DNA sequence: AAATGTGTTGAC
DNA sequence: TCAACACATTTG
């Protein structure tokens, strides 16, 4: 009997360590029936597309079909409407649909980024919402992220560990419990929350409670945000929610003004106070 | 330690 | 151009 199994590289194996003998049986990874889809050692699926001898990685996915759809999106953006895809249909004369417009208004890099973050569908949906509002005459203020009526939830001056290699941001407990009930996160999408930034870009973070530190944290997806915004310790991240019933969430960030002397400015935000360049929490 | 995604190769 | 494979790098 095999004591355990594992997978490394392009092969997987089973180790039988009876009598201290380590016999290894290599097993081939299953090929995908979909174009642009490759198996991953852990049973998940990767998507990739080639262009001029160069491979562009499109991310990893739980389902083979998800990966195939990611490839399709990339194929259409990279090679045009007539590109060969796994699922998409290309009929003559409908090259002006919303998705095509959406694809054409974003760079390849942006589309790839959305695919790797798994936010493509959300961004497309949001784009469609904006498009629809123009047509129907609905108040643009309700859909346009930068102008949408919103209420502030809380700010946080990010700490060194928030922007460090821990790849997570701690949400101060009182704010988390007041504004972001874990139930809201863990209910439908398994702990995933979408936030829109001022550019209308969607950021998806995993939101969870860590028992070890008794703290609420944003984990998966946070590192990418820190990197793209070049977030530094001391910068302020601001969380908002739309006032409407649509429950949309927003994230904003503000760079620390290092040109100003810390002692000259007192920034107050919620229960946090920045004084003499030091962040203090007021007792309450 | 596990997962991701790059280096590389050879078939098509 | 493409997927297979090995495995270095990155992430949790």
Distance CA A169, CA A151 (A): 21
- Average pLDDT on A63-72 reads 97
Please name which of A198, A247, A195 lies closest in space to residue A224, comparing C-alpha atoms: A195
Q: Are A8 and A41 in contact (CB under 8 A)?
A: yes
Distance CA A224, CA A243 (A): 27
- CA A122 to C1' C2 (Å) is 30
Distance CA A173, CA A260 (A): 30
**Could you say which residues 2-21 of protein chain A have a Cβ atom less than 7 A away from any atom in strand B?**
6, 9
Which residue is it, tokens 């809201």? Answer: A184
Tokens representing A83? Answer: 């590109």
- CA A138 to C1' B4 (Å) is 43
Which residue is it, tokens 């992220």? Answer: A145
Cβ neighbours of residue A170 closer than 8 Å, sequence gap 6 or more: A159, A161, A162, A215, A216, A217
**Band of residue A19 on the pLDDT scale cut at 50, 70, 90:** very low
pLDDT at A174: 82
Beta bridge partners of A51: A54
pLDDT at A121: 94
Distance CA A267, CA A273 (A): 6
Nucleotide nearest to A62 (CA to C1'): B3
Beta bridge partners of A156: A237
Tens digit of pLDDT for each residue in A124-157? 988 887 665 544 444 444 555 556 678 888 889 9
Report if CB A46 to strand B is under 7 Å: yes
Grouping H, G, I as helix, E, B as strand and the rest as coil, residue A48 is strand
Tokens representing A99? Answer: 């998705």
């Amino acid at each position: 009997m095999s004591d355990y199994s594992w997978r490394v590289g392009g092969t997987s194996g089973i180790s039988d360590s009876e009598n201290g003998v380590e016999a290894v049986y290599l097993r081939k990874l299953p090929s995908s029936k979909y174009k642009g889809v490759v198996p991953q050692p852990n049973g998940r699926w990767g998507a990739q597309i080639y262009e001029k001898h160069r491979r562009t990685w499109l991310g990893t996915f739980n389902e083979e079909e998800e990966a195939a759809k990611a490839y399709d999106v990339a194929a259409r953006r990279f090679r045009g409407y007539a590109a060969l895809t796994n699922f998409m249909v290309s009929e003559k004369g409908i090259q002006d649909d919303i998705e095509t417009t959406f694809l054409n208004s974003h760079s390849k890099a942006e589309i790839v980024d959305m695919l790797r973050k798994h936010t493509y569908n959300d961004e497309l949906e949001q784009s469609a919402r904006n498009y629809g509002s123009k047509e129907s005459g609905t108040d643009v203020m309700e859909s346009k992220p930068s102008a949408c009526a919103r209420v502030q939830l809380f700010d946080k001056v990010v700490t060194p560990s928030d922007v460090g290699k821990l790849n997570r941001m701690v949400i101060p407990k009182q704010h988390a419990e007041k504004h972001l009930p874990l139930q809201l996160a863990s209910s439908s999408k398994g702990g995933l929350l979408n936030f829109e930034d001022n550019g209308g870009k969607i950021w998806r973070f995993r939101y969870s409670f860590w028992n070890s530190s008794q703290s609420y944290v944003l984990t998966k997806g946070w590192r990418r945000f820190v990197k793209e915004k070049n977030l530094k310790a001391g910068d302020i991240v601001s969380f908002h929610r739309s006032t409407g019933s649509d429950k949309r969430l927003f994230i904003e960030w503000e760079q620390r003004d290092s040109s100003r002397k810390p002692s000259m400015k007192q920034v107050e935000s919620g229960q946090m106070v920045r004084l003499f360049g030091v962040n203090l929490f007021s007792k309450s």
